[in-house]
Homo-oligomer: A and B are copies of this chain.
């Protein structure tokens, strides 16, 4: 009787086999996975969170468990605004919308501004969940600057974990096109420098996106969006339509935490941990995978590793998993997947320092097996 209604999503290009592998990795014992971009569990300030939770739940108004407003808790928005102002922005708490993570912030901007068929300028490698979102919405990610919107990872990029190219930034500023400035990793530069936010210089077209997921923990699922003032009302309406508000509990816990906890000291600890892990990862890649190219990262959770040869990154992942490790295939980060050399992202962030070399050793063994079965084809560089 019922005809299945046509679903409006464009087809997804062969990433479901990769997802199946990633899911297998998660349940496999004795894996040393270099995939996923997960923060280090050892950095989660569990005791501080537990104390803040009890305080938040115990408050007389019990805002932690009740409904809130679409824009989020005022204390938290004030704190976010103050930190941005300290970096050169001129905004107030009213300019900030608390979102269900950075992902939602990106989705809201896209839904407010772009129709299917519009193009979004991205780096040659970019954040996979943003690329997926763009494609699911019928948008066209492109490395050309001739686009309706620019999506830029500011401060520290993903997957290469380097600063934004200066020429690219100047081109973006000169273009006059709206920009999503995704600062997910911006506070995790190893040298402790946090760039002046793009919105300080292009307030009328910068949609600043931030998150607690990389610096604190992903479990709260809380981020923020600072749009140009003229877009605030429309974005708030979209936010309310999407999920009414970000979860009150996480917001209330964070409001307690930031009131008397030294977040900057926490960031400093995190930078130290990730910087050491990054060093170990780069050393291990250079030692055990000498035919690959890798650049030392300036911050963040990962490096991007490239070979000189073409090859199927998903097939290599299958072999890697058999050898007890995993990575994120390069194609997930790319707009143009044809003719790109075999490459992948390696994340050091969630692997203990003394296990990183062993993880790369496993990957090197997998590479030997993979090459024997799938001889490399040079694609030139």
Listed in ascending order, the chain A residues whose CB lies under 8 Å from chain B are: 1-5, 7-9, 12, 16, 23, 36, 38-39, 41, 44, 46, 49-50, 53-54, 57-58, 62-67, 69, 99-101, 103-104, 107, 111-115, 129, 132-133, 136-137, 148, 176, 178, 202, 204-205, 213, 217-222, 230-231, 233-234, 237-238, 240-250, 252
Contacts and interface: CB of A to CB of B under 8 A. Distances in A.
Closest 10 A-B residue pairs measured CB to CB? A221-B247, A65-B219, A219-B248, A65-B217, A133-B241, A100-B243, A104-B243, A219-B249, A67-B218, A7-B234
Contacts of A69: 23
A137 B240 CA distance: 12
Contacts of A220: 65, 247, 249
A7 B104 CA distance: 17
A36 B99 CA distance: 22
A167 to B, nearest CB: 19
B44 A241 contact: no
- Identical copies of this chain, number: 2
Given A8-B112, A67-B213, A247-B249, 12 more contacts: A2-B204, A8-B113, A36-B67, A46-B58, A53-B57, A54-B54, A66-B217, A129-B240, A218-B248, A221-B243, A247-B247, A249-B249
A221 B248 contact: yes
Most chain B beta-carbon contacts within 10 A, residue among A65, A112, A217:
A65
Contacts of A240: 103, 129, 132
A65 to B, nearest CB: 4
A237 B132 CA distance: 8
Contact of A62 (B36, B41, B241, B247): B41
A256 to B, nearest CB: 13
Given A53-B50, A66-B218, A218-B66, A136 B237 contact: yes
A206 to B, nearest CB: 10
Nearest to A221: B247
Contact of A219 (B66, B234, B241): B66
B221 A107 contact: no
A252 B50 CA distance: 14
Contacts of A230: 4
Contacts of A54: 50, 53-54
Nearest to A213: B67
A9 B112 contact: yes
Given A50-B53, A243-B103, A8 B132 contact: no
Given A5-B113, A113-B8, A248-B221, A243 B241 contact: no
A219 B9 contact: no
B129 A241 contact: yes
A1 B176 CA distance: 6
A55 to B, nearest CB: 10
Given A243-B101, A243-B243, A8 B136 contact: no
A321 B231 CA distance: 30
Given A50-B57, A243-B100, A243-B243, A65 B9 contact: no
Contacts of A113: 5, 7-8
A57 B231 CA distance: 38
Contacts of A245: 221
A9 B53 CA distance: 38
Contacts of A241: 103, 107, 129, 132-133, 136-137
Contacts of A4: 204, 230
